[in-house]
Structure 1
Amino acid sequence: MRPFDDFGGTFRDLVSRVDESALPRLIGAALQTSQVGDLQSVVVGLEKKGLAETVSSWAEKAPTPFSAKEVEAALGAANIGRVAMTLGIPAQSAAELLAESLPTAVGVATRSGSVVLQGSVGKKNAP
């Protein structure tokens, strides 16, 4: 076995163990390495696909769940395939990993200010 043959399993394990504050960097790095985009561009894409309310909920204490099917529908099979190839896991596993980790990663990144939700831009600028 080569050193990185089980990178996908290692990555999934790392995601489950990492401190919540590091999750945006970890998921963001996987998305960028896969050439899907950074976390901010993925959020904008999700919002444009009609998921603004769901994405906004991720910054709150009761985030709306996000299924693997919704991830695939929103990001597209090609992007899920790129993430899967980068991580060395099946596409279904990549969609499940993103469904589990995107809400937390986006919530943390939004609260820290490193990701801006389009729905919140108007709210911040309102008197």
Structure 2
Amino acid sequence: MKGQKVNHRKSIRLRTRGESPQEIEEKITAEKWMRWAYQGAHSSWFERILFRSSICSRLMGLWLSSPFSRIQIKKMIRRWQLDVSEFAKRPSKFKSFNDFFIRQLQPAARPFPDDIYSLVSPGDGRV
């Protein structure tokens, strides 16, 4: 309806890994920005200009590969509550956010289960 603010948020419930899994609500990276870009009154033209061309993607790629993007690493660790003891190297040693994003883990950080009926996710994310 015109003039009314509509909440289009659909809550996604996830189960955590570990000995005692819990259900949590999914966090969305840059959620406010995404909602502004896709759900605002201006979103139609804004979406066409930025997201349907490669300009935005190329600029973000340059930024995230630059050493200046390292300032985002601590924020990401804090927001997603990442266990830095699992990382193969300290957060301060990453060259860029992209370097952090494709990080290696300690060999014992994510052991494969012996159960042949288990499904193993190859990354930290939604499957």
Q: Give the TM-score normalised by structure 1.
A: 0.27
Which one has more relative contact order, counting CA pairs under 8 Å at least 6 apart?
A: 1
Question: Larger Rg: 1 or 2?
Answer: 2
Higher-strand-fraction structure: 2
Higher-helix-fraction structure: 1
